[in-house]
Amino acid sequence: MASQITHIPYGKKVLDLFLSDKKVEESKFFVGTVFPDIRYLGVIDRDKTHVFNPTIEGLRDLTDSFELGVYAHSLVDYEREKTLEKLGAYEAIEKNKLSIYAMKFVEDEVSYDLISDWSHYVDFFDHVLSEESQLVEAGAVEKWHNLLRGYFQKPTWDTVTNFAKELKGFIPEVLNAVRVEEAKIRDNRKVMEITRGTYNALFSDLS
């Protein structure tokens, strides 16, 4: 599972590779790419926001821009995990909840530089979409958007903490433990090489 900053450039890769021939409303698509993880606010179950075993064909069967974004989120999560396995990430580090979270935050830092015009994407979160409020109460969606707008900047431990502490389960003890794992990842040259190479390797078997 990718984290929120990473879902923007990875989602853009989905758009460019597989949906360039479709008429897609960019703002709704990118809001859709990060909507599924609103579940971390504890307002909706994961199985209502994520697709099991997503495929390119399943993606292309859709026409609604928001639904395409939501589906792309699951496709990115699924293919990213396969890519990390293929590149040997979990041979280089122990795979557990803390190391997975730590890797996601490091990956957000790497992924941030893949987008040059973040303000363009941040503006998409100025308003709650009707598609979102049909699934989750509008106040929760507005909170999610505000969190994302604050998080979509070059990540630091402070921005990570400010974002994560609003999510379900990220108590201070967990965040402190994640920070320890994050330091281990940064010291692991193999894992850092994999993290930097994931974007280019993503979908290489499909495109």
What mean pLDDT comes out for the span 32-50? 95
What mean pLDDT comes out for the span 63-86? 96
What is the rounded CA–CA span in Å between residue 32 and residue 97?
25
CB 5 within 8 A of CB 118: no
The fraction of the chain above a pLDDT of 90, given in percent, is 88
Reported as a single tens digit per residue, the pLDDT across 114-161 is: 999 999 999 999 999 999 999 999 999 999 999 999 999 999 999 999
169: alpha, beta or left? (left if phi > 0; alpha if psi -120 to 50)? left
Reported as a single tens digit per residue, the pLDDT across 81-98 is: 999 999 999 999 888 889
User: Does residue 206 have a pLDDT over 90?
Assistant: no
Q: Would you place residue 207 in the very low, low, confident or very high pLDDT band (cuts 50, 70, 90)?
A: low
What mean pLDDT comes out for the span 74-86? 95
CA distances (Å), 100 to each of 2, 27, 120, 147, 187, in order?
10, 29, 29, 21, 15
What pTM did the predictor assign? 0.95
CB 149 within 8 A of CB 125: yes
Q: What is the DSSP letter of 170?
A: -
Least Cα distance to 8 among 106, 143, 108, 137 occurs for: 108
> Which three-class secondary structure state does DSSP give residue 128?
coil
What is the rounded CA–CA span in Å between residue 199 and residue 9?
8
Least Cα distance to 157 among 109, 96, 88, 85 occurs for: 109
CA distances (Å), 3 to each of 57, 88, 121, 146, in order?
24, 20, 16, 16
User: Does residue 50 have a pLDDT over 90?
Assistant: yes
**Which pLDDT does position 95 carry in this prediction?**
86
Label residues 127-142 b or e (16+ Cβ within 10 Å = b): ebbebbeebbeeebbe
The fraction of the chain above a pLDDT of 70, given in percent, is 99
Reported as a single tens digit per residue, the pLDDT across 177-201 is: 999 999 999 999 999 999 999 999 9
What is the rounded CA–CA span in Å between residue 180 and residue 60?
41
Block residue for tokens 């075993």: 53
